[in-house]
Structure 1
Amino acid sequence: MLLQHRISLLLLLCSSPLVFVGGNSTEVPCDRRCLANARVQKELFSAPQNDNCTIVVNITSIQYETLSFDTKGMEMTSRIKVNMEWKDPDLGWMQEKSRYPTIVLPVDKIWIPRIVLDNAIETTIEPYTNDVQVRRDGTVEHAVVLFTTVSCEINLFNYPFVKGSCPVAINGWSQKTCALTLQIADNVSLVDSSGGEWQTNSVEKIVDSSNRAYLLVELSINPFSAFVTLILPSGLVLLADLVSFALPFEGGERNSFKVTLVLSFTMFLLILNEHLPNGGNCSPLLHYHFSFCLVCLVMSMLVSIVLTRLSVEDSFLVCRRSTKVHPSNSTKTQHDDQDQEKDLKPKDISVVQDQEVIDKSIG
């Protein structure tokens, strides 16, 4: 009887630690933060390594916005929001361990794919949020914002009536054996169509023959601003120069006015050179228009100077002495003659009277 009692007590002591451990495991379940901390502790900073060493990233949607367009340098600055997702099996978990379908992880604690823009001059990538969403199967959902500047070759011959397109190449990266492949959906939307003088008409995804994807941005110029600031003033200056021939030659008012017109038009030409590119395959037609107008103004000024010279002198040659009396000089001569007649008139009367007295005495 004593032996049986001791055996029962030994079995009770051996089973009590198991009950205690089992009770703790059921009483303290792992919540979302516990599940997220377990993934953070793995320190998964490298890309998922598959057998073929290829990472596939799905671009679910793209939101495009043109920030500015530099007409002088032919550079376009854009803001692109990219929503993407990829699968990292090491971030997943089994349903038996946790009942939560999704968790949130810090963006700097896991590997994030980097998008490469082939034709970009400068690119800045920023995360849209500081967190990423991870599903049970290891699928990661994330969004980034790209601020990029690309070079555009648009024909400006018909400026300001210009339409053209500018490509923005969006690709992954590839090495000899490993690659980052982007599968871009057709869900491309335009956020804002106005960007100063230039307007964005449309944006669409294009895939070329080498299976490289890029965004084709259609641009156009609003001609109202250029017409009011450049074309209309040039026409008004030419009109003012044409009407200036009604001004008189005397005083040099016409020549001064024409010189002022030439100087003002030269200022417009300098503004045009600072705004439009000087080189390229096809120079803007507006350059030739302003050059022709400037030549017309200079020729008109020279003709006015020659006519002014001919109206005052017999010849426009500076070295030749003129025989034509200036109107002011002729007026002065007439006044001098009148003064001389006034001075001599009393003397003439006295001479006549003396002559009459001598005649009478002789007679």
Structure 2
Amino acid sequence: MDLQHRISLLLLIFSSLLELTSGNFTAHDCDRRCLAQLLIDKKLLSPPQNENCTTVVNITSIQYETLSFDTKDMQMNSRIKVNMEWMDPDLAWTKNYSFPTIVMPVDKIWTPGIVLDNAIETTVEPYTNDVQVRRDGTVDHAVVLFTSVSCEINLFNYPFVTGECPVAINGWSQKSCSLNLQISDNVSLVGGSGGEWQTLSVIKVSDTSQPESRNYLHVTLSINPFGAFVTLILPSALILLADLVSFALPFEGGERNSFKVTLVLSFTMFLLILNDHLPNGGNCSPLLHYHFSFCLVCLVLSMLISIVLTRLSVDGSILPCRRSKVHPSNSPNPKNDCLDKEKDMGSEISLLQKIVFFLEDMDKGDDNKESNMAFAYFMDKCCFCFFLIIYIIYAIILICVTQADICKVNNLDFWDNSKPPDYSFDYSYSYYYYYYQE
């Protein structure tokens, strides 16, 4: 019995040593890939469930880039790279593994979803297909957001415009659970130009006046006025100048009327070509629309005045229904009838009287024509002074109006201030479902 007891004790000690040796061998011989596979087998696709059902995600840095700005539809397209980290205790490992960090596939663990409150369309892509996990369960991840947001900018002074556009970045919130984003001030601007628009600055702003978290990127945009000035403002100013100089042309021959009609048709065609390129401006319609209307009215009015003055110089009347005066040589005259009767009598005196009356009528017609022409040119000078004064006053008023802050817009009206946001679905699940499902 004593021998059997000793044999049993030895077998027990040997099995204990064998189990301990096997355990140490498994812990020490498991590499990073083996540890990552062990964590993948847990299938941690749901968010960490804390006691208060709130997951905190730290946004460590943001890189912002404006891709384009559609002035016609008032939409801004952006590319945003977001670096984030969060704590998932179920991904932590014990000290038996000496690795400080491991790399895991991004589609094998839960990743937070980001809500853009004022986005029209958003595409989320992982910056890499892997995430870095630390020993304590901290996960480092980065995503790239391609988003299109509606942004109403005050275009009243177009093309001399500087405006602000918000890009609201927040987590999702439900009745009892939420994803809280802690966004740092480490926001950098990449690039700067998106077509005719330039991005001047981008800063992170937090609205603390509301009970719920409201964070957004305050993007400051400015338009390059050179292109719009050359293609829009300068041609209209030159056409007005050409119309003003056309008052130096004479009435005779119709060159002035033809030139003014050509100016009106050219400006009308100019507006038709630019109709699809002019911005709408939303509630703040650009002053450029009113400027073009003023130019068109002035050109048409100048053309009509020129036509009326041309008739006035010829007929001495602006009434279109009045008959033109007939030349004295072709007009019937009672005196000529008397001379014709005396001519039949063969009187030389009657023939001389007819010649005298004819010359007097010609002189009288020339005097009337010169008087009409002088009056027409006088009215033409008055019209020239009128248009010159109107253009000077218009330029002064235009400068004063552009300096005043007449129109204001509110880009933060997409938030509902009546109640906290209540999203009906889990964005973290949709983020995984749409981008990582096989």
TM-score by length of 1: 0.80
Tell me if 1:82 matches 2:71: no
Q: Is the 8 A contact 1:58 1:184 kept in 2?
A: yes
Tell me if 1:55 matches 2:55: yes
Change (3 A) 1:23 1:109: closer
Distance 2:9 2:118 in 1: 78
Counterparts of 1:342-353 in structure 2, within 5 Å, are: none
Q: Which amino acid aligns with 1:200?
A: T
Question: Deviation of residue 290 (structure 1)?
Answer: 1.1
Please give the secondary structure, in 2, of the residue aligned with 1:192.
Answer: coil
Q: Is the 8 A contact 2:155 2:281 kept in 1?
A: no
Mind listing any 5+ residue stretches in structure 2 that lack a counterpart? 331-438
Distance 2:258 2:53 in 1: 79
Aligned to 2:231: 229
Change (3 A) 1:6 1:40: closer
Change (3 A) 1:22 1:325: farther
Question: Deviation of residue 305 (structure 1)?
Answer: 2.3
Distance 1:263 1:150 in 2: 39
Bigger strand fraction: 1
Tell me if 1:143 matches 2:145: no
Aligned to 2:151: 152
Q: Is the 8 A contact 1:116 1:170 kept in 2?
A: yes
- Show CA shifts across 1:291-332 (max 9, x none): 111111111111222234345555455544323459xx99xx
Aligned to 1:124: 123
Change (3 A) 1:279 1:160: closer
Q: Is the 8 A contact 1:170 1:213 kept in 2?
A: yes
Distance 1:6 1:89 in 2: 47
Question: Deviation of residue 272 (structure 1)?
Answer: 4.8
- Show CA shifts across 1:209-252 (max 9, x none): 12411111111222111111111111111122223344455554
Partner of residue 284 from structure 1, selected from 279, 283, 286: 286
Distance 1:290 1:74 in 2: 21
Distance 2:22 2:192 in 1: 63
Distance 1:277 1:297 in 2: 24
Change (3 A) 1:178 1:16: closer
Distance 1:13 1:201 in 2: 77
Question: Deviation of residue 258 (structure 1)?
Answer: 2.1
Query: More deviation in 12-21 or 121-130?
Result: 12-21
Number of residue pairs aligned between Structure 1 and Structure 2? 325
Distance 2:187 2:194 in 1: 19
Q: Return the structure number with greater relative CO, CA threshold 8 A, min gap 6.
A: 2
Distance 1:312 1:159 in 2: 46
Rg comparison, structure with higher value: 1
Distance 1:230 1:290 in 2: 9
Mind listing any 5+ residue stretches in structure 1 that lack a counterpart? 331-363
- Show CA shifts across 1:242-292 (max 9, x none): 233444555544333322221221233345543344464332221111111
Aligned to 1:260: 262
Backbone CA RMSD of aligned residues: 3.0
Counterparts of 1:19-58 in structure 2, within 5 Å, are: 19=18, 22=21, 26=25, 29-58=29-58
Distance 1:324 1:242 in 2: 34
Q: Is the 8 A contact 1:313 1:324 kept in 2?
A: no
Distance 1:144 1:6 in 2: 66
Question: Deviation of residue 94 (structure 1)?
Answer: 0.9
Distance 1:197 1:148 in 2: 19
Counterparts of 1:204-243 in structure 2, within 5 Å, are: 204-208=203-207, 209-210=209-210, 211-243=213-245
Change (3 A) 1:285 1:4: closer
Distance 2:81 2:23 in 1: 47
Distance 2:11 2:231 in 1: 99
Query: More deviation in 253-262 or 268-277?
Result: 268-277
Q: Which amino acid aligns with 2:284?
A: C
Question: Deviation of residue 15 (structure 1)?
Answer: 3.9
Distance 1:87 1:236 in 2: 66
Change (3 A) 1:76 1:23: closer
Change (3 A) 1:20 1:175: closer
Q: Which amino acid aligns with 2:304?
A: L
Tell me if 1:190 matches 2:189: yes
Q: Which amino acid aligns with 2:104?
A: L
Q: Is the 8 A contact 1:230 1:268 kept in 2?
A: no
Q: Is the 8 A contact 1:168 1:216 kept in 2?
A: yes
Q: Give identity over the alignment, percent.
A: 75
Question: Deviation of residue 172 (structure 1)?
Answer: 0.4
Q: Which amino acid aligns with 1:241?
A: D
Question: Deviation of residue 29 (structure 1)?
Answer: 0.7
Query: More deviation in 301-310 or 290-299?
Result: 301-310
Distance 1:138 1:69 in 2: 41
Please give the secondary structure, in 2, of the residue aligned with 1:274.
Answer: coil
Aligned to 1:69: 69
Change (3 A) 1:68 1:279: closer
TM-score by length of 2: 0.67
